A and B are shown apart, each in its own frame.
Chain A
């Protein structure tokens, strides 16, 4: 089930085999296998506490102090978008975007990235002067300005209101179409997963329990019957009772 339409299976930027992670007595990830193809958009669903963030942090190399084993093969050039925008409050917006860049072309690239997320002209603003959605757009610009092969995002839109979140979906889709990074997006929102992803994974008991390729034509919406079918099967796998919907 790992292959899907698109023929991008030749190179696999992300390869995880037998990943084990635990905290104290508790094993959170228990021999997890995962592959993500180049330019593939994968959404990761799972109950709260199922280990989504733990997996993402393992891929990002941010869990140096955690015990575990397994093979993790990810590109050197990968970026992380956190749930909070995590901008440095003492740096202006542009300096935040180019924080990880080197070289004299950095400001130019930063400006271009800001323009891409619709924030041209706000380069000299302080992060505290931006709205929540704008801050998260700056974080997106910061993640994409280095042209990563892999984008790791942990509920990046979780703190935004519904309308802003829809706008961010469009923006993310656009940016991914242009930059073609492989994406692993952690979310608890089934609709978000079905709207954005080429493939939806469901994490349960420390492993990938469901691996579902989403094969839907371009403007995805609730009006498509298959959309609802995907949605329903994922909700069922999550153990959500469908009688109220």
Chain B
């Protein structure tokens, strides 16, 4: 093969001397590429509904969903349920994040803390949040307390795991630097430990926000009288697929928005990092 290349005279002065080097990167990003897949799905759905291939009892047409959504907004049901759901998720997320971070700091900075805390949290991690719901109902009833607690438990675990891992993987050379500069413990924590653990913490937060919405769905569809999950559960009883789809779209949007918010925070807070993605 080499021989034939060598034997062949150069065709033209403009021809490249050899093949361009193969790129290992996936190539240039497609404009609005992220929207392409969902848009195709929507198109198939619309065409299917218009052509009558999709029974409206199975799946309502997109335009029905839109009018249903505006009806729900008009009579206030959507906002009320959304506000309640967001409050539950937000509360559980906040409490779970604080507890998870504090536990990770205790376990990451002291051997005793790790010995005592890490085991139980790993065990909790192995038990799905849903499996705890029956017990939590017995303990706390079916009120807000139970719901927020379930969400908190779902959030706490990823925040703990990733923050703890971030702490543990701080380069020991930086610890040595801190010792050589005789840093006080507070300064060491603020300048070295916390920023070093931040990437792990933020990764944990991305799992946590998704976890919060997941747990929300679970607690709202059992024994609830408010929230998006309740609205969907009610719609199931009356066979209103349009309302169910409004709920699903809402969940999807909320998940995307909160994940986007964490990613934005990530980009801001970790601007010192240069990675393959940049």
Contact = CB atoms under 8 A, between A and B. Distances in A.
A23 interface: no
A60 B191 contact: no
Interface string A83-116: 0101011110001000110000000000000000
Interface in B146-186: 173-174, 176-177, 179-183
A40 B192 CA distance: 33
Contact of A99 (B176, B179, B181): B181
The size class of the interface chain B forms with chain A is 20 to 34
A79 B181 CA distance: 7
A88 B195 contact: yes
A126 B182 CA distance: 23
Contact of A89 (B182, B191, B273): B273
A99 B180 CA distance: 11
A142 B183 CA distance: 13
A86 B195 CA distance: 15
Contacts, number: 45
Interface residues of A, number: 19
Contact of A62 (B176, B191, B274): B176
Contacts of B176: 62
Contact of B196 (A60, A86, A90): A90
B180 A60 contact: yes
B272 A82 contact: no
B272 A126 contact: yes
A91 B195 contact: yes
Contacts of A126: 271-272
Contacts of B183: 99-100
A67 interface: no
Given A91-B191, A99-B191, A128-B274, A86 B173 contact: yes
3 closest Cβ pairs, A-B complex? A100-B181, A90-B195, A80-B180
Interface of B: 173-174, 176-177, 179-183, 187, 191-192, 195-196, 198, 270-274
